[in-house]
Structure 1
Amino acid sequence: MHGGGTEVNSCNRWYDKTLQLIAGKNGYCGLCYEHTPAEGPPVASLMDFICDKM
């Protein structure tokens, strides 16, 4: 989960952003976000747009 570990400064970089888009090699996608600055409906609209364009 931490990529290259502490040698490449990836230890604490996964959940420190407000919105993260996640795309897998197998075509699955998703997101991880903190809901305080962005409530659910706008984020759901963003994901619908992204899924329509993929």
Structure 2
Amino acid sequence: MIDTTRITEPCPYCGEPETNIAIRPSRKGGHTAQCPTCGARSGNGNTPAEAITAWNRRF
């Protein structure tokens, strides 16, 4: 299981708490963080850590 405790920001669109944001494999390869409520996604990262960083930088 991927550690998502480093996600520090809620969804910027719907406000879903950061504890519910999922890290998933991307269709383009790599990983993305995705909100389970509205489907908002971070940029694509080569690793789960890069996807988490991209999510946190959206604010």
Query: Normalized against structure 2, the TM-score is what?
Result: 0.28
Instruction: From the CA coordinates, give the structure whose radius of gyration is larger.
Output: 1
User: Which structure carries more helix by proportion?
Assistant: 1
Task: Report 1 or 2 for greater relative contact order, CA contacts < 8 Å, sequence distance ≥ 6.
Answer: 2
User: Which structure carries more strand by proportion?
Assistant: 1
Query: Normalized against structure 1, the TM-score is what?
Result: 0.30
